[in-house]
Amino acid sequence: MVVGDVSTGTDVAVVGGGPGGYVAAIRAAQIGLDTTLVEMDAYGGTCLNYGCIPSKAMITATDVAHGAANAEEMGVYADPEVDVGEMVEWKDGVVDQLTGGVEKLCKANGVNLMEGRAEFAGGDRLRVVHGGEGQGSESIEFEHCIVATGSRPIEIPGFEFDGEHVLSSRQALAMDDVPESMVVVGAGYIGMEISTVLAKLGVDVTVVEMLDEMLAGYPEDLTRPVESRAEALGIEVEYGLAADSWEETDDGIVVTAEDGDGNTESFETEQVLVAVGREPVTDTLNLDAIDLEPNEDGRLETDRQARTDVENVFAIGDVAPGPMLAHKASKEGQVAAEVAAGEPAALDYQAVPAAVFTDPEIATVGLTEDEAREEGFEPAVGKFPFSASGRALTTGDSEGFVRVVADEESGFLLGAQIVGPEASELVAELGLAIEMGATLEDVASTIHTHPTLAEATMEACEHALGHAIHTLNR
Amino acid sequence: MAREFKLPDVGEGVAEGEIVDWLVSEGDTVAEDQPVAEVETDKAVVEVPSPVNGTVRTLHFDAGDVVPVGDVIVTFDVEGEAPEEESDEEAEAAEETAEPATESASKSATEKASTRTFAPPSVRRLARELDVDLDSVEGTGPSGRVTEGDVRAAAEGDTTEPQDEPPEEDREVAEPAGEQAAEHTGGAGGQEPAGREKTLAAPATRGLAKELGVDIDDVPAVEERDGEAFVTAEAVQEYAEGGVAAQGAPEAGAPQREFVEGGETTQPYRGVRRTIGEQMAESKYTAPHVTHHDTAVIDDLVETRAKLKERAAEQDVKLTYLPFVIKAVVAGLEEYPVLNSELREEAGEIALKQDYNIGIAVATDHGLMVPVVKHADQKSIVELAEEVNELAAKARDRSISREEMQGGTFTITNFGAVGGEYATPIINYPETAILGLGAIDERPVAEDGEVRAAQTLPLSVSIDHRVIDGAEVGRFTNYVMERLTDPELLLLE
Ligand SMILES: Cc1cc2nc3c(=O)[nH]c(=O)nc-3n(C[C@H](O)[C@H](O)[C@H](O)COP(=O)(O)OP(=O)(O)OC[C@H]3O[C@@H](n4cnc5c(N)ncnc54)[C@H](O)[C@@H]3O)c2cc1C
């Protein structure tokens, strides 16, 4: 291998191959820009390799087992045997298929792929450092650079990830067998999703949460069904406790946590999973070289065109402001690529949907009633419980509801909150409605297939209009 | 915290303004309502006041910049709010991209949520494409939703009104909107009341009409919606101004001329004049022009034409030099097809035209028009003469149809009709070349060490240098000149 600095030129250099970066690269190449994508670990980034996809694969697999084992009500008696190793192998197969697909798509669209860590070496130059002995480095001269370096799990002091006793979400999703017990630090969505998987695999799960609520940031009436389902699954959630330290014992470890008053509590367990949030990755980039500084959250500030303070450098995804979500990363990637190509693109969406794949699922988009009021709207709210949905009852899962929030005067939809079966899918229709400027009337007047869960959105809109059929009007 | 201050809509429908002067510098302390900038729109120069007490952190534009309404022009650090918070606030603002910071800041002042303009994503994109500020568009869709048609109408409204970037040199003419309106009604005698039964208009437009005391059914409609007349706010405004001015004008009919020291009279920049202006600007600023000049010695052509002129007169045809030039040009284009082309940037292709449709620029009372002689390659000199005369006459009395001015592949302009030798013709975009003719006259020509007086025709060929190289236009011109110098060669074409 040649040691030295080989320089190539490109219109757009994309750093990071996650859902932000690879989408940006493909779009840029589609528009006809010469595009180079640099990834230092694995194509598909966090989302495909260590996040969304593996977690959802495990959630679905454990749901299948758990569903079969708990269908006596339907007259089904089963005692599924789960081979965790095979389950994980299947999940890895899904991941491989998708990451391989990303690589193929990039190549098919003419994206130059480069492996290595990219760091800025000036306003128009990246140095790509290859791993391994004597691999040397290369330079890329770019017109535009799209930074999509994503995020990594936050480590809390005293809980360095060792993959043995203290796990990150990434490590937890890579286990090929499950422990008997697990303490999960953090009741955010990652903590709760993985806790649910573990509990369904028979692990004795204790969640330790510093705040006094689960899934902070989501309305309480949405998290309540999740909380009670978690409890039914045997997950114990301890609120108001901050994990403090751990030590090894003969049978595993003991995790100590402290409440606000300095009282401590300890939990015996086999392993501890720390899922307290994620931090943006900018330290791999040598930002000094372009005089760009992250804000105090560690993110790169951007404008409506995803540009940073440096004119030709864009930032997207987890490293840019906003919720850390894959679909938001991808959309920003498209916008950045189009802006780089001189197209009139901008981040002007009305609402970013979010979903939590707990049991039951939670999904939200746009404004809640309170937020709508704060924005100056007089909100009209409609709700439809899944207990009144024919389809929900036939699935054996009828907990939860769909709620819509609209502007009373004009009828424009402003937001929706859903908890219940397939919430993550159902939210899509309402997201579309919000973006299209659809009114309650529009959604209510759209014929929905019967019997489906999606009818609930129509019914919720009818409810907001005061003429619901299958639920009592306000 | 930081407050981003956007260029406000300083007047009805104004899409942008020029920052004439900053009245503050970065780091200055400012008080609320203190003027921070002088902004000139095509309607007026206004002072823009600070919305806050604080200090000026960043001025985002330089004096002289033209800024679209809604762009952030100043970032202030608001007094009494810790600047450390700003990044948080900014992060939040960026998160809710649909709701820029200033709007939420000024929201308390407005009773209703005006933070959102409801429009589907495709319409939002169109607005960006056409450079229309969506927030200033009146929605006519369900519940006031902004539709594609609304955005297009807003964009078109901008181009038919003088407010949309008049070319630099015309700005003064276009500026004083008030005078212009008065002049317009003076000249046109005011707009006739339409007196319709039913008129469609947005609620805000109706409100405006009421405010101005105008019956909306009388306002001339600019378009139709669902088969009914549709009236815009601009139309109401214009009608109202027309009405008011007409009442005040002592002699409606003739524009008044005032001879005042330093005075001026203004003319409306619209209609044909404006269309020409826009096309010229588009051509000039899109296609890098290079003009090649040369002179053809045409003693023989003068003779030939003099002979044939009489013959043609017998057939009732007035024979000018132009048909000969057209013949020579067509020959040149056949030999050098790249001059008979169109550049399609978006498709990334140069279209070499198979037709030889020669546009002839004709100066008329209402401006320059370019009727097109179709398939000039298939016509005789006499046929060409006939057609050119007919088209020119139609152009002058404005009876020419649109089709007769379309489809050109190359243009000839005869500025020599009023004398002079060389000029820079502007390409009739998207064509890629144009020939300008100077005046045919006796000029000194050096031949074999002798200077003699010869009949000469100065030629100026402008080309789009993106498509055509200098050498090519040189060769083309030589080829054409050869045929003008030796008209017998035209017999071979
Ligand atoms: C367990 C888990 C579950 C999740 N579930 C969901 C979900 O259900 N839905 C959802 O929307 N989101 C989910 N997320 C979040 C989602 O994964 C992220 O929001 C998304 O991956 C962000 O995409 P990105 O492109 O910004 O960055 P990433 O996906 O993090 O990709 C960044 C890439 O950049 C590379 N990189 C970093 N620095 C350099 C450098 N200097 N040179 C070269 N390469 C570099 C990294 O190796 C990485 O591959 C989940 C996350 C986790 C951890």
pLDDT at B491: 79
CA distance B149 to B74: 33
The answer to whether A154 and A281 have CB atoms below 8 angstroms apart is no
Residue of B80, B102, B101 lying closest to B91 (CA atoms): B101
**Residue B109 pLDDT > 50:** no
Residue keyed to tokens 């087992």: A65
pLDDT band at B112 (very low <50, low <70, confident <90, very high): very low
Question: With a 6 A CB cut-off, is A118 part of the ligand 1 pocket?
Answer: yes
Residue B279, min C-alpha distance to chain A (Å)? 23
Which segments within A197-334 are labelled E, that is strand? Answer: 204-208, 236-238, 242-248, 253-258, 264-269, 271-274, 278-280, 313-315
At residue B11, the pLDDT reads 54
Closest-CA residue of B relative to A379 is: B113
Shortest Cα–Cα distance, B266 to chain A (Å):
37
> CA-CA distance, B307 to B289, in Å (whole number)?
38
A145 bridge partner residues: A13, A313
Per-residue pLDDT tens over the stretch A34-79: 999 999 999 999 999 999 999 999 999 999 999 999 999 999 999 9
Residues in B whose CB is inside 8 Å of some CB of A read: 84, 87-88, 90-92, 94-95, 97-99, 107, 110-116, 118-121, 124-125, 128-129, 141-146
> Other CB atoms closer than 10 Å to residue B35's CB: what's the count?
15
* Token digits of residue B322: 């132009």
User: d(Cα A349, Cα A436) in Å, to the nearest integer?
Assistant: 10
Residue-wise pLDDT tens digits, B409-452: 999 999 887 788 999 999 998 899 999 999 999 999 998 999 99
Residue B33's Cα: distance from chain center in Å?
A: 37
The pLDDT value recorded for residue A135 is 60
In tens, the pLDDT along B183-231 reads 333 333 346 667 777 777 776 677 778 777 778 888 877 677 666 777 8
Q: Does B97 have pLDDT greater than 50?
A: no
Please state, in angstroms and rounded to a whole number, the distance separating the CA atoms of residues A357 and A56.
7
- Edge-to-edge strand order for the sheet containing A181-185? A166-167, A271-274, A181-185, A204-208, A236-238
Q: Is the pLDDT of residue B128 over 60?
A: yes
Gap from CA of A64 to ligand 1 centroid (Å): 27
Q: What is the pLDDT along chain A (474 residues), one digit of tens a residue?
A: 233 445 688 999 999 999 999 999 999 999 999 999 999 999 999 999 999 999 999 999 999 999 999 999 999 999 999 999 999 999 999 999 999 999 999 999 999 999 999 999 999 999 998 876 556 678 899 999 999 999 999 999 999 999 999 999 999 999 989 999 999 999 999 999 999 999 999 999 999 999 999 999 999 999 999 999 999 999 999 999 999 999 999 989 999 999 999 999 999 999 999 999 999 999 999 999 999 999 999 999 999 999 999 999 999 999 999 999 999 999 999 999 999 999 999 999 999 999 999 999 999 999 999 999 999 999 999 999 999 999 999 999 999 999 999 999 999 999 999 999 999 999 999 999 999 999 999 999 999 999 999 999 999 999 999 988 888 886
- R_g of chain A, CA atoms, integer Å: 24
| CB atoms A349 and B119 under 8 Å | no
Mutate to test the interface with B, among A350, A439, A445, A465 (most CBs of B within 10 A): A350
The model's confidence at residue B264, banded by pLDDT at 50, 70 and 90, is: confident
Both tokens of B178, joined, read: 């008030």
pLDDT at B228: 72
Which tens digits make up the pLDDT trace of A134-173?
Answer: 566 788 999 999 999 999 999 999 999 999 999 999 999 9
Return the closest-CA partner of residue B76 out of B48, B112, B110, B108: B48
Residue type, A166: V
B107: pLDDT confidence band, cut at 50, 70 and 90? very low
CA of A47 to the centre of ligand 1 (A): 5
Which amino acid is present at A338?
Answer: E
Six token digits for residue A174: 């890579």
Question: Does A411 lie at the interface with B, CB-CB under 8 angstroms?
Answer: yes
pLDDT at B244 exceeding the cut of 50: no
Question: Given the structure tokens 């020119």, which residue do they identify?
Answer: B392
Task: Report yes or no: A290 and A310 within 8 Å, Cβ to Cβ.
Answer: yes
Taking CB atoms within 8 Å and a gap of at least 24, the contacts of A246-249 are A246/A158, A246/A159, A246/A165, A246/A166, A246/A272, A248/A165
Beta-bridged to residue B121, according to DSSP, are none
Protein residue with its CA nearest to atom 3 in ligand 1? A51
The residues of A that are catalytic are: 450
Check if the interface score ipTM surpasses 0.85.
no
Ligand 1 atom with minimal separation from the A327 CA: 11
pLDDT class for B33, splitting at 50, 70, 90?
A: confident
Pocket lining: A360 vs ligand 1, CB cutoff 6 Å? no
How many residues are there in chain A? 474
Peptide bond into B430 cis (omega under 30): yes
Q: Over 80: is that where the pLDDT of B262 sits?
A: no
State the DSSP H helix or E strand holding residue B456, giving kind and residue range, or none if neither: strand B450-464
Q: Select the residue from B71, B118, B128, B132 to test the A interface by mutation, using most A Cβ atoms within 10 A.
A: B118
A315 lines ligand 1 (CB under 6 A): no
Tell me: pLDDT of B165 over 90.
no
Distance of alpha carbon A412 from alpha carbon B144, whole angstroms: 10
Distance from C-alpha of B380 to C-alpha of B116, rounded to nearest angstrom: 64
On the question of a cis peptide bond just before residue A353, with omega within 30 degrees of 0, the verdict is no
Q: Any CB–CB contact under 8 A between A152 and chain B?
A: no
d(CA A89, CA A197): 16
What mean pLDDT is reported for chain B? 78
Instruction: Give SS3 for B490.
Output: helix
Q: What is the largest CA-CA distance in chain B?
A: 92
The length of chain B is 493
CA distance B282 to B280: 5
| Type of residue found at B172 | E
Other beta carbons less than 10 A from residue A93's beta carbon = 11
B281's torsion region: left (phi>0), alpha (psi -120 to 50) or beta? alpha
**Are B141 and A437 within 8 A, CB to CB?**
yes
- The DSSP annotation for A202-231 comes to T-EEEEE-SSSSSSTTS-HHHHHHHHHHHH
Please tell me the predicted confidence (pLDDT) of residue B89: 42
Residue B15 has pLDDT above 60, yes or no: yes
Instruction: Tell me the three state secondary structure of residue B369.
Output: strand
Which residue, B190, B209, B188, B189, is CA-closest to B199? B209
The answer to whether the CB of A194 falls within 8 A of the CB of A271 is no
Q: What is the pLDDT of residue B208?
A: 78
State how far residue A266 is from chain B, nearest Cα, in angstroms: 36
Ramachandran assignment for B158, one of left (phi > 0), alpha (psi -120 to 50 degrees), beta (any other):
alpha
